[in-house]
Amino acid sequence: MITLDSVTLKSWLEENSSFLTGARIQKIQQPTRREFVFTLRNSGETRKLYINIDPQFFHVCFMTQANEEKRLIEIPQKPPMFCMLLRKYIENARVSKVNQPEFERILEFYIETYNELSEKIYLCLAIELMGKHSNVVLYNYDTNIIIGCAHNVGAEKSREREMAGGLPYVYPPKQNNFWYAAENSLSNLSGSVNSNIDNYFADCIYGDKFRKLQEKYCQIVSKRLKRVQNSLAKMSKQRVSVEKADKYRLYGDLIMANLYNNSDFVPVITVFDYENNKNISVVLDETKTLKENANRFYKLYNKAKTSNQKLFELTQGLNIEKDYLEQLLYSIKTAENVSDLREVSQEVEPEKAVLKDKKSAILPIEIKTDDYTIFIGKNNKQNDYIVSKLAKDDDMWFHTRDCAGSHVLLKADKKTDELILKCAKLAKENSSGAKSSKIGVIYTYAKYLKKPPKANLGYVTYSHEKEIVID
- pLDDT in 10s for each residue of the chain, 471 residues: 899 999 999 999 999 999 999 999 999 999 999 999 999 999 999 999 999 999 999 999 999 999 999 999 988 889 999 999 999 999 999 999 999 999 999 999 999 998 888 889 999 999 999 999 999 999 999 999 999 999 999 888 877 889 999 999 999 988 888 999 988 899 889 999 999 999 999 999 999 999 999 999 999 999 999 999 999 988 877 765 666 678 888 889 999 988 888 888 999 999 988 888 889 999 999 999 999 999 999 998 888 888 878 888 888 889 999 999 999 999 999 999 999 999 999 899 887 754 444 444 568 999 999 999 999 999 999 999 999 999 999 999 999 998 999 999 999 999 999 999 999 999 999 999 998 889 999 999 999 999 998 888 889 999 999 999 998
Rounded Cα gap, residues 126 and 134, in angstroms: 10
**Secondary structure class of 38 (helix, strand, coil):** strand
Find out whether 3 and 131 touch, Cβ atoms under 8 Å: yes
Rounded Cα gap, residues 282 and 358, in angstroms: 73
CATH number at residue 49: 2.30.310.10
φ, ψ of residue 123 to 5 degrees: the values are -110, 160
* 218 assigned to some structural domain: no
Residue whose C-alpha is closest to residue 151's, from 301, 30, 269, 312: 30
Q: Are residues 167 and 244 in the same domain?
A: no
Q: What per-residue confidence (pLDDT) applies to 240?
A: 55
Q: What per-residue confidence (pLDDT) applies to 359?
A: 44
* 220 assigned to some structural domain: no
DSSP per-residue letters across 371-396: SEEEEE-SSHHHHHHIIIII--TTSE
The residue among 287, 315, 333 that closes a domain is 333
pTM of the model: 0.78
CB atoms within 10 A of CB 92: 11
Q: Are residues 46 and 154 in the same domain?
A: yes
Q: Are residues 115 and 164 in the same domain?
A: yes
Rounded Cα gap, residues 53 and 33, in angstroms: 9
* 49 assigned to some structural domain: yes
The residue among 333, 350, 377 that closes a domain is 333
Q: Count how many Cα atoms sit within 13 Å of the Cα of residue 309 in the half-sphere of its side chain.
A: 5
Q: Are residues 181 and 238 in the same domain?
A: no
Q: What per-residue confidence (pLDDT) applies to 309?
A: 80
Burial 280-292 (b: 16+ CB within 10 A, else e): eebebeeeebbee
Q: Are residues 177 and 28 in the same domain?
A: yes
Pairing of strands 24-32, 35-42: antiparallel
Residue whose C-alpha is closest to residue 331's, from 381, 374, 366, 365: 381
Q: Are residues 147 and 67 in the same domain?
A: yes
What is the maximum span of the chain, computed from C-alpha positions, in angstroms? 116
Rounded Cα gap, residues 362 and 379, in angstroms: 10
Q: Are residues 182 and 275 in the same domain?
A: no
Burial (Cβ within 10 Å: 0-12, 13-18, ≥19) of residue 50:
buried
Rounded Cα gap, residues 408 and 386, in angstroms: 8
Rounded Cα gap, residues 68 and 50, in angstroms: 9
Q: Are residues 31 and 167 in the same domain?
A: yes
* 206 assigned to some structural domain: no
Q: Are residues 245 and 105 in the same domain?
A: no
Number of domains in the chain: 3
Q: Are residues 329 and 367 in the same domain?
A: no
The residue among 154, 188, 222 that closes a domain is 188
Rounded Cα gap, residues 29 and 40, in angstroms: 12
Rounded Cα gap, residues 193 and 463, in angstroms: 62
Q: What stretches of 278-393 show up as alpha helix (H) in DSSP?
A: 290-333, 338-343, 345-348, 380-385
Question: Cα–Cα distances in Å, from 394 out to 228, 343, 377, 412, 452?
Answer: 36, 29, 19, 9, 20
Domain boundaries, position 447: 363-470
Measured between its terminal Cα atoms, the distance across the chain in Å is 41
What is the CA angle 82-88-91, rounded to 5? 100
Q: Which residues pair with 439 in a beta bridge?
A: 470
Q: What per-residue confidence (pLDDT) applies to 361?
A: 55
In 34-93, beta strands by DSSP E = 35-42, 45-52, 59-62
Rounded to the nearest angstrom, the gap between the alpha carbon of residue 427 and the centroid of all alpha carbons in its chain is: 24
Q: Are residues 12 and 144 in the same domain?
A: yes
* 423 assigned to some structural domain: yes
* 200 assigned to some structural domain: no
Amino acid at 185: S
Rounded to the nearest angstrom, the gap between the alpha carbon of residue 56 and the centroid of all alpha carbons in its chain is: 21
φ, ψ of residue 274 to 5 degrees: the values are -75, -15
Residue whose C-alpha is closest to residue 427's, from 460, 459, 397: 397
* 274 assigned to some structural domain: yes
Q: Are residues 77 and 179 in the same domain?
A: yes
What is the CA angle 193-56-32, rounded to 5? 95
* 13 assigned to some structural domain: yes
Find out whether 248 and 297 touch, Cβ atoms under 8 Å: yes
Contacts of 63 (CB under 8 A, 6+ apart): 48, 50, 71, 198, 202
